[in-house]
Every structure is written in C-alpha cells, then in structure tokens.
Amino acid sequence: MATLGLVFLGSVAWRQLGTSDEERAAQSYRSARYCMLGDEDGAAMHRLRTRVVTSDLDPTHRDWPLRCGPTLQRLRGQLDNLLIERREACDDSVCCPGDTTCDGLARLRDEVDNAFAFSVYPKRLGFDPTDFLLAGQELGFETGEVPDGGPKPPPVSEMIAPVNMKPLFTGEYLRLLTDPDGEDGLDLLFYEHEERYTLCRLDLSRQAVARCRALGENIPVGLAGEILAGEDGAPRRLYAQGPGTGIGGWHHGVFDVAAGRELTPVAFRPQGGFVWRDGTTSWLGMEPPMDLWSVFVQPTSAPAPPPMPLALGEVSAGPHLVHDTLVWTVPKSGGRHQVWVRSLDKRDDAVTLGEPEAIGEITSPDQEPDFELCRTKDALALMVHGRRSRAGLQAQLYFRTDEGWHDPVPVHVNARRAGFTCQGATATVSWIWGAEEKPIGEVTPWDTELPAVEGLYHVERLRCRPEGCQRNAASLKLKRFNKRSRYVAGDLGASTVVMWRSPKGDVRMKVAPLEQLETTDSTPLFDDSEHDGFGWDLERDPIFGRAGTMVVLASRQSEGGLATETYAVVVDARGKVRPVQVETVPDDT
C-alpha cells in the first residue's frame, strides 16, 4: 500500500481587499463544511455517511470527497496564518495562557488535517465530522450559509437511522419468541432472565406499526417460553417458566396473554401447543410420574379432561405439536427416518386424536430431523429437514389439505440455510449462495481485519404446491464487507429481496422480480453500528417473511452504551422501506 502523503499549501497569507483574515477563514470553513457534509439538518456522521454511500453507488460522484481537498488546504493555510499572529505574543509555538480563540484555531486545524486525510483516503480513521462542526461553531465560523462557487457535495442517500425511530425493546433479551402462524402481522415476545416479558404486535397490513407493552409481573420469566400456535382469531396463549416451587425449583404454566393470568399449571415444558378460536388450548408434554408423552387439553370454561397418552415406541425426532398436528420420526436402517403425523380433531367442546399416519421418509444419517411449518390459504405446509452439510440441505415438503396429506415433495437447497414462507396458495423456499468469491484489492500479512470480498451469487427460489415445486434462479455480482458478513435472500411474493453489507459498511438491498434482480440498482438500507446505525452481523437479530413483506430486526447500543435497543424495519415487494412506528401501551399490572 502506498504511503499516504499530506501536502498543504503552507502558511501563506491569503489577502483579499476589504476582508479580514478571520472572515476569509470562516468562508473557507463554510465551503469545506458544505462540501463534506452538505447543509441539511441531522447528525453530522449520518450526513457524511450518506454521501460516502452515494459516491460509491453513483459514478458521477466518484471524485468525492477528493474534490473537497483544495478547499481544506486553503482553510489549513489560513488557520496557520491566524495561529502565527496569535502566538507571536508568546513563544511562537504555543497559544498564550487563557487565549481561548487561539486554542480553538489549533483545535479546528487538527480537525481540518483529519478531514483532508479522509478526503484523500476515505478508509482512514480519525475524522469525526461532529468534532469538525463543533470546532467551527466554537469559533463562530458557522452561520448556516451555503457558499457560492465552492465544490458541491453529492446528494444524500436515503438511509433510515435510529435517531428518527423508536425501539421495540430496550434491554439484553435472552430469547425472542414469535407466533408461528400469523398471516397479516407478527407477534414478537422479548424477555430477559427473571425480568418481565415485552410483547410487540406488528401490524403489517397497511402501516408498519407495533403496539408494545410489558406483560404482567405474575408471568414467570426463566430460561424457556413459547407462544402457542392457533387458529385465525384465536386468543394468544403463552407457555412460561420461571423460578418457583415446582419440580427442580421451577414453575411452568400456560397463560392468557390478553388477561395476564395463568390458565393452568403444567408439569414440564411443552413441545408445542395449539389454541382454537373459542380459547380451547392444547399442548404436548410429559405426564408424571411415568413421564409418558401425552396431549393435554384445557377447555375455556369446563374442567380439563384426562390427558391423552401417546404410544410412540422408538422415536428419532420429536414428538412435536406443530399447529394442530403431532409430528415425529421413527428410525429406520441406512440413516433413514419415517415421518409420522397424528391430527388433533375438535368437534364441539371435545378434542380427540386422529389415527397415526406415516406420510414419508427423510434421510438424515448424522443428526435428527427437524420440522418447520407455515400455512397457505388452503393448506398446511410442513417441511422436514434432513441431512445438512456444506453441500446444502435435503428436505421433504408435505402438504395437508381438506383431502388429507399429499405425497412428499423433495427439496434440495444448496446452502445451509433457507427461508420458508407461505403466501396465497404457495409455500416458498428461497436462499442465496456465493461462488467465485475472492478478496477485493491487495491483502497484506499485516492487515488486522478481514478484507472485503466480491463474487458471483446465486439466488434460488422454489414455489411449491401439493402437486410439486417450480424452481427459478438468478445470478448477480456483489461486493461484501467480508467473507463472514451475512447476506440473505427472501421472497416478497411478486419480488425477491437480497440484503448484504457493502465494503463501505452500510447494508444494501436489491428488490425486484427474480428475473430482473441482476440489473436492478442497489439501494442503501441503513448504516452500520460503527457509524451511528445498526448492527447487521448479529445472529440474534432475525429476519421474518410475513404478509408479503420482510421484517428486519436491527440492534444498536443505546446512548451511553448501557443497554441494547432493538428496532424493526419492513420492506415490501415494491422496495418501499418503512421503519416500524412503535406505540407504547400501558403495561399490564
């Protein structure tokens, strides 16, 4: 890497008839400030970073911030002259004691040096635009005037920023619980160990609005919890666990979220539950003292019937109550597993178990299968994950309609992760994977950070119905922050979205129909946490596909760094980005 040289015009007196040295320096300062930061309101770092992103995306502004260099050089020379004049009264090397103007000029000169270094090499650390602004304001150089004839800044990139948003949750949450079956919204339940739950209901139908409240203190908070699935219109139920007098010193219970009261205690942590529209609640758990897997039912107003035991035999995965269906696998030879299901049927006030049914096989020799579920408008879609390896994921997709369970649809994903969402009549599996990835620029042994990378990335999508899947794909070139930085693809119905962190640090996206993705321009979404934005490479900040949108959770440290704030952003199929507006409602007592 070439050595960075900073060359200034030196201590030359810039004489202009009828204008004082201070006025000329103030004019140069305003020209430099305008070139670097523009004249709009807002945090200085955000104003700078939006222009960093614009200059990277728009070829007509690639000469920025280098175009600001001559103005910064002129300002540096004028500040030198002013400092010489102020220091002549002392020993010519330091400001006189108590000369605050001299101290301010020296401080601004240091900031100009940092700004000039940034203009030559924008990756260079040390330039803080806030300090640059404050140093000019303290000298009275800043008037808000837009100077004539000087170099102009690039236009700002429209990036969302936390300064204009309200967090869903503030605190170090251990886990985030979500409703597994919502269609036009999303329930997010945050909790900290031995603190209160905070529930946020996100309305995604028209506006991105979340109503958040702390749940009652009587709901225990421990190391486990679960929002139970339910029919459309069913009341929300929560399994919660916390310190108490039960087995092992823990109390387990199922709670009515709206009323904040316990419906019934349970002996052990359930493996899934389901709620009907009338409030009847079921869950799968073990019945003491024999610890038999059983289905428990709590009617709305009647006494609970006896648990319904399950005779499962040897099980390799599960059982789980997935929606209103029990799912488990039975081991077979050669690393194969047979998938079994059994429905929960409700007629009037009675819940009964349907007959067990083997619906297919999955191969997973090295680990137990797991299950994922979503609902289309007329079917239940169950994806059973099998073998995971560097080569990808093998799975089977099962649909249950009014006609019963259909033959399995094989799914091969050549990535370790994939999004699984339902919308309309289809279930969609989407993923992205990189090929031909290589470092950008020269990598030297003394580099302390991973280099940025570029490569060819393939976005793939399976649109699935009971009769089979249609596969589509697109390829695009991306430049990313480094090889470990995450990148994701998701389905938005008519469009596909790809998100990644650029070498500049900001998070960008492309939103377009899959066949147009390669030629669609990149759009900045938000800046990184190092520049007053949000974290991106945090695995705990998930991304959800829901109601034809993508909901992105993003975290940052609060002012002072005492807590973590979690925000939400919604992206729709048109590429419109909406920060989630948070309405805080009174806490439960």
Question: In which band, very low, low, confident or very high, does the pLDDT at 27 lie, cut at 50, 70 and 90?
Answer: very high
Question: In which band, very low, low, confident or very high, does the pLDDT at 182 lie, cut at 50, 70 and 90?
Answer: low
Report the phi/psi class of residue 551: left, alpha or beta, with left for phi > 0 and alpha for psi in -120 to 50.
Answer: beta
| pLDDT for the residue 2 | 39
Burial 460-494 (b: 16+ CB within 10 A, else e): bbbbbbbeebeeeebebebbbbeeebbbbbbbbbe
Residue 480: closest CA among 549, 519, 434: 434
Looking at residues 7-30, what average pLDDT do you find? 62
| pLDDT for the residue 299 | 92
| pLDDT for the residue 341 | 96
For the ranges 263-267, 293-297, 559-563, the one whose mean pLDDT is highest: 293-297
| pLDDT for the residue 366 | 76
| pLDDT for the residue 306 | 94
Query: Is the predicted pLDDT of residue 193 greater than 80, yes or no?
Result: no
Predicted confidence (pLDDT) per residue in 387-396, tens digit: 667 777 888 9
For the chain, the average pLDDT equals: 87
Query: Is the predicted pLDDT of residue 412 greater than 70, yes or no?
Result: yes
Looking at residues 447-453, what average pLDDT do you find? 78
Query: Is the predicted pLDDT of residue 268 greater than 90, yes or no?
Result: no
CA dihedral in degrees (521, 523, 529, 531; nearest 10)? 90
| pTM, two decimal places | 0.86
Looking at residues 512-522, what average pLDDT do you find? 95
Q: Which residue has the higher pLDDT, 19 or 27?
A: 27
Predicted confidence (pLDDT) per residue in 314-350, tens digit: 999 999 999 999 999 999 998 899 999 999 999 888 9
Query: Is the predicted pLDDT of residue 302 greater than 70, yes or no?
Result: yes
Q: Three-state secondary structure along 149-184?
A: CCCCCCCCCCCECHHHCCCCEECCCCEEEECCCCCC
Question: In which band, very low, low, confident or very high, does the pLDDT at 241 lie, cut at 50, 70 and 90?
Answer: confident
Question: In which band, very low, low, confident or very high, does the pLDDT at 13 lie, cut at 50, 70 and 90?
Answer: very low
Predicted confidence (pLDDT) per residue in 538-574, tens digit: 766 688 888 788 999 999 988 776 788 999 999 999 9
| pLDDT for the residue 423 | 85
Assess contact for 466 and 379: CB atoms under 8 A. yes
